[in-house]
Structures are given as C-alpha cells and as structure tokens.
Chains A and B, each alone.
Chain A
Amino acid sequence: MTGQDIHAGTLIIGNGFAGRTVAHVLQDECLIVERGEKFDIFEMRQRYLEMDQGINRNTRLRDIYKSRHDFNVPEDLGGDSSSEYILIDGGCSNHWGGLSFRLSDHAFKQSDDDFSWPFSLSQLRPYYRRAEQLMRLCADERDPEQRNPIALIEGAGKWHDALAGYFPAAYLGAQSHNLSLNDTSAHGAERQGRCAGAGECEICPLDAKTRARHIPSAAPIINSTMVDRLLFEGNRAVKVLCHTEHGPVSITFDKVVVAAHGVESLKLLVKSNLPPATPRDLLGHHYQDHAVAELVCILPGVSIPFFEASTHTQVVIPELSGVHADIEYTTIALMMPPHESAIAAALDLNKLNQWKLHDAIMETGSLLCLYVLLEAPPHWDLSMSYVNGKFSVDFSNYHRNKMRYDEIVTIIHSRLKALGAIPLQAIARKHYLHKVGTHHLVGMLGMGHGRRAVAGPDFRLKGTDNVFIAGSSLFPRCGSRNPTLTIVALALMLGEQLRGRAMGHSAGNP
C-alpha cells in the first residue's frame, strides 16, 4: 500500500462513535480510515491485570492504551486540564462514556446567536431516539427525557423510594450496554443491558459497555493509518496524506467526513491548505468542557441502597441542577459509599463516646456523595491552537471566570438545607479551582449560523465544498451534559444528509 493507490466515494476519518455512525447510515458507500490499532477488551484487561498492582490505577489504565505506533501519541492538554484522550480504534468512548444524557433545553435555547444550535432540540429528538437504540440504552422509567431504551434499569425503584423524601424527581442516569442475556423468561428481552458491574467499565470483564464497534457498519476500515492533512484544490478537498507503519499513503475521495476526535481533527485541519473562505482564525476557539465540584450530604433517616441497581450509573438530581449566570450545572449522586474523608467528617463522636455504636455506623449509610458537573460555556472562549507543530490550550479565561462556580456550590448547599439534608460544607472538594475537564472535549469546530461558527448548519466546513465535520467538536453549546449520545444523534443526522434523505425536516439540511 504505497503511493496514491486508494480512492473512496466518501472517506471517513476516525472509527469512533461519530465516524462509525455516519458509516452505519452510508453502509458500504464509504471507507473508514483509523489511526488506532484494533481494540480487544479482553486483551486489554489481561494486560491491565498483569501490571504491577502497586502502580496507581489510573496510570495503569492509561498505559494499556499506549499505541505501538510513534504517530499515535495524544496531545498533553496541560496542567490546567484534567481531560485527556486516547487514540485507539473506536475512540475515546472505549474508555469513557456510558452515562448517556441528551443535551438540555437550555443548551438549545440560546439568546446569543454565536453559540446557537442551527436546529431545535425537538428536531434532534428523532435522532436521539435512534441513537438510544444504537447505543443499546438501559434507562430509568422515571427519566424525564422520554427515552427510547432497549431495557429498563433494575433496582431503580429502591433509589426512588430512598430519595423520595428529599429529591422526589431523582432518577438513574441512562447507561449504554451491549450485553444480551439469553434469558427466556417473560422479561428476557427487557433484561438486556445488565452490567457486570465491576466498577471498571473501561476494561469491563464481560465487555458490557457499548463501544463504537457495536454500531453495525459494513464499511471497510483501514487501521493504523493516520491522516496527517487534507489537500485542497480550490474549495474542494481531493486527497488525504497519511502516515502508516509502512510509510506514507494518500487516499483520494469525493467527499470527506472529519471525525478524528476534536483535538486531532483540529490539528489536521490546521495543517491543511484550507480555502481562503474557511475561517482559519476561529479553529480551536470556544472549547468547552466540564469542571467538577464534589460535595457530600447527609440525608437523615435514609438508608441509601448503595450498589443496588443492574448497572453502574449515577443518580441524576434535578432538584440540585439548573442554570446560574448562564452556566448550566447538573448534579449527580454516586451509587457507592462516599470516600473515607467524608465518612470521617460525618461521624458522630458523641454517639461513639456514649457507646451508641450501631446508631453511629448506620448513620454513615445516609451519606450521599454528589458530583456537580459545571459547564465551561462557549462564551468564556477557552481556545486550542496548533502552531509550528506545537499544541497548546489557553485557559486564561477559565481562571478569570471560575469563581462563578462558588456561587453555584453555595446555591446547592442552600437547596440541600432547604430540603432537610445536611451538607458537609467543610469537606466540599472544589476541583474546579485547580483544573477543568472531564474528558469532554467539545466545541472547537462549532457549527451554526453564527459569526463564530466554523461549520455550517449542514455540517460542512465553511468555505469548502466537500469537507464535513462529525463529533463533539461540532457542538456550539454542550451545557453540563455528557456528549456521547449527542455525538451519535448528530452523526445520524449527518449521515442522512449525506445520503440525501433527511428525515422530513428542514433544519440542519444543506
């Protein structure tokens, strides 16, 4: 495979959820080129288990994704970021992903045109519904987003009952699973989605996690081939130049979908001889991610049913979620007992000194650990750049604005008190003060009608005739929700448009 020896009608760069889903719609009319090696979860898990157990778990997890190819090295996002990404067949959701939100109404109801979606949430809903089937969602029947799951989460009722006195609207977040149980009972079909529940979803021992490869597609895939740049003739991209372990390769095409992960898509576009009408100066701007605050509260009188569900998920608490100062935040509760310092802080020493040990121990079963996902909104304009082969992220606007999150933490503590819960304010962990990032790298190639958009409403890179963007880098606004489900929904929409048969609505159509 050397020289210019391959041609594709539609070339898709990246076999993650975005590229794979576009290929799913296009069927065999396309070719996928993927820089990562093939991913075998069982091999990965074995490698993980054989590592020195004394090494930090996160370090071990990172190490199993190291590529044998020199060109497969993800960028370091810098000390201000806790986000990272992996370069492996199937993309980042092999490691992260699972909790499957739709984006909120707020993310779609923008007053600022610069960061408005080019279609409404209701127009995206049919694609969400299809995406939820493709991702094999299991969901709580109380989920307010009118999900279209394959299965219902078992055990959700125990959580509803336990939290009803404080958070009556709480529900278990939808999760994606690929497992099918060969269960012949009356509920056999509905029980699909049971999680092995190892708490190590990234390297699940039963491969219960939905991965990009579970999206059916007949498209051929070329692995271990990294697209370095596009070559344009006028407004039309005609060729990609690739690195492989056997040397350079070029691929020609009629149209190309760039779905190579936000950071890598940005890099390959910056390296390309883009047409003059493409807004090169906007590439990488308005990067969005999520910051985190970790809070703990006591729910007096409640025995929390830790672990009691058929999947490893989190409890979404609408009562502690909302929008403040145009910053969206979502609070989720962990389904496992809180960390040691939280338990220590909550201990009732008086009871222990009075030998009321049973009472003191049982009270720790009323502790709930909360994670607040805080939006870093697009108007803060965190920006990525790639200049002279050097990648960097400018977080200065983040640090200028992050104190706004203090107000949100105060609001949540106040709400907890108003609801009768006891927040342990002294042990709140304000991770946002130091770093931003939950691996949700969103918005660097935003779409829309606005002046700051890089891609048009038809997913096409501005100024080009045949270059389309897929993935979370498209989001003009993400809010505080995890992006994977929306990535799949958008990729379905793009795929339909590329096939010229959109689903009966005009928004987002070319």
Chain B
Amino acid sequence: MRQVIGIHLGASFAEACALDESALSRTSDPAVLSGKGKPLASARWYLPRQPLRTSLPKWIAENGLNPSALYISTRSLERIYDFRMGGTTAQLVTRGVERWPFLSGTPIQPPSFFRPSPPLALSSADLCFGVDERVTADGEVETPLSLESVEAIATKLKVQEVKKICLHFLHAGRNPANENAAADYLEKQGFEVFRPSHSGDENADWRANTLDASLSGSMEELRGEIEKAIDGLDLQGRVQFATGHGDWMWDRKDRRLSSQFGADRLLRRDTDTPDTAVLDFGWDAWRVIKTGQPCTDWKSPWGPVHQPSSARRDLFLQPTQALRIDEAGAVVAGDKSETYEPGPLWLGRGQKPLVADLLGEKVLAEWAAATAPTRVASALQALVKSGAENFRDAAQMSAHLHKTWAARLNRELWLERDWKNVRVRGPFASLWWPSLQETWKDRAELDETTDAELVARAGLREGPR
C-alpha cells in the first residue's frame, strides 16, 4: 500500500504525519472505523532545537516508515516579510516608471497620520532600471524594445553579480512582444528572469512577481534543508509543495510566493460547507480563514498582491504577543506580534512573557526548559504586581484574561457574519474550544487534523507521484 509523509513547516515549528492509502477511505468505511485510516505516525518539532535535517530521518527510522513521496505545506517564509526584500533582485521597467512609487510598499493600516513610519521596501531602488520600450493600452508596440539599453543594464548587473531580474513592462499582457524579446536575451545571458502575470493592475502583478523573485533565496535554503533531511532516503524528485494556485511544485519560480498559501487552499478544499469560519490556532499565528471566499488579491504588507489566496484575517490575539500593562493599568496583550525568536519563556528563551506563556503551558510542555516554570511564574507575578486590577495571583490573572479574550473572540466572530459552521483547529485549539462550543453549540466542530495530515491526505489524493 502506498505510503506518504506530509510535513507542515511553520516559521518555528514543524509537524509531520505519515499516511497510507487507507486514509483516503470515507469515515463510513469499516477499514477506517477499525483504525486503519489513522495516521501511521505523527510528530512535531521545535525547529531551533530540532532541525528538520536530523528530526525527519530519525522519526522515519524510528517508525519504520517507507514513504514513496513527501508533500509539504509551508508558511515558513512569512517570517522574512518584516525584513527588507529584494536586495539582489533587479527590475527592468518601462522607462518613465522605473521609480515606480508603488514598489516602495505601504503599510495597510498606517499607525498614525501625524506620526508616520517609513514604508517597507519591496525592492532596491538602486537596482530598478528604465528600459526604452512601450506598448499602448490597445496592445500596439509604440516603441520597440531597445536591446542596447537592455545589454548595457545586463553588463552592469553581471559586474554587480545580480542574477535575478524582474521584467515589468506596461501592457505586456496586451502584447508581450517587448517582454518576450527582453526575456530571451536575458535568459541567454544566464539571468533568472521573472515575468509577472497580467491581471490588468500592474501594481498587484508586479508586487507578486517581485516577491517570487525575492523569496527565491529563502526558498532555496528551505529546499536545501529538506534535501539534507531526505538524504539517504529514496525520495529524490518526489518532494512537492502545495501551492495557493491548486497545483504542486518543487522548484517553480513563479510559485514561490504561492507556496505560502498552499495550506490555506488545502483547508478550503477540505471544508465542504461554504460560510465556514476556520479558526486556525496555529503555532505561529491565530487566524480566521473564510473557506467559502477564495481571493485573487492578497492584502500584503506592501499593498495588494495578485495571488490566489484565502480570505483570512489575523485574530486580535496572537500567541507571540507580549503581555503589557495598558493605559488603564490592565494587563493586556501588546499591539505587535513578536516571533518565536528568541521564543516564549516556556522554551527557555526570550525575556518578555507572551500570550503563549500565559496560556500555552500544556501545549509547549514537551519542550519546556528546566528553569521555565520559575521564569514564567516570576514574570507573570511581576505583571500582577504592576497592574491595577488587584489580582490575587498569576492564576487568577490568567483565568480572567482567558475568559475576557474568549468572550471577545466569540463576540467578534458572532458579529462578523452569518457563519454556518465554526471549525476549530490547530495546536492551541483546546484553549478556546470550550468557550466556542458553548456559543456555537452544534455548529462548532473541533478538528484535530493537523496541517501535516491535511497535506499528506491531499498529496495521497491528488499529488504528483
């Protein structure tokens, strides 16, 4: 019987699940009822301590697995969105718009009108070059591509050791003649050329293309890590990432950004009823994913990006938000989500107590450092003392905040729209399930399927062999 492994890679945690074909049977199938459709094995790893290259082969050996394919969903590249992007990616743009204002990026919600902050850069302005070419809105080539200007730029970029070039020519979707000519020349010169999709809004298309190019270095690192992990296993050429486009890929340069939306697509596909709110209490982020609503644009940190994705929003509470005292003396979760680097106190890293420290003891217990209970207790006690709410102790504070946040979560979800069902999942789901069940009654479902199982199941069903 064919056996596969599914892996979900987050920014700091990974999950793995091994399945065989019996897992595809419907629940009415006697084989499933007798337990044969259940995962053969599963695991989860905290990546800074348990890197994939050692954890995966060890787990495969310990469980005597013999997989024929490895299917991966990932959100691991989200962590680099906060950094400057596109440092080694050049852009060739229709002359006149080479200082394209929308490439500078824009915060979706500026923090303040009078206290603005600099935008996130999506590309390096020094590597943006104007090219003599022009296609009109009717698709007429008004100015044929000047190969001389492309040659001069190519020479310069070779000296600078830039290898990736995005082609951003206006109306290339109406007539790609100039784009084709530039791509042919540059590819012959050994450059990796990125061409955008053409939806009729160049901002959203060019951003997506720039991100595909910018993420390629990180994607290569990720693939390198996976290749090391499967070294010695007979899996070469049989590892695939799920994408938001609905296909699978290992090394497609136009699907790098899309790989970050594969897990959402699988969730959408796995949810039969439209208007279901999937509350995904994942390792790195807590979100509501609206399964009935596929989107063509992703609301990125730089503005709309043309990318098949799911309608989703981050919940008001995130596991990596630091706890703080607010203006009224109350203990609250901070506005900004931190990351697991250095990590919550429970993992023996970090200095500030996070939401995960307050509520996640049971979830994080398997990785808890020996000193963690003392450090967490003293950090929470310090909050009790500094706040104005007169909590008896940290346990009372924790219970109060948990109840308050659960009520807010329920209210927000209730008022957002007429959900037919609420599906609660993820490693932190157990924290919120009792309160959600109380509000949503039989319309709430606790889904214990992990992301790794979801991708393994999808791989078995539809993935390339």
A binds B: no
Q: Give B contacts to A, CB under 8 Å.
A: none
Q: Give A contacts to B, CB under 8 Å.
A: none
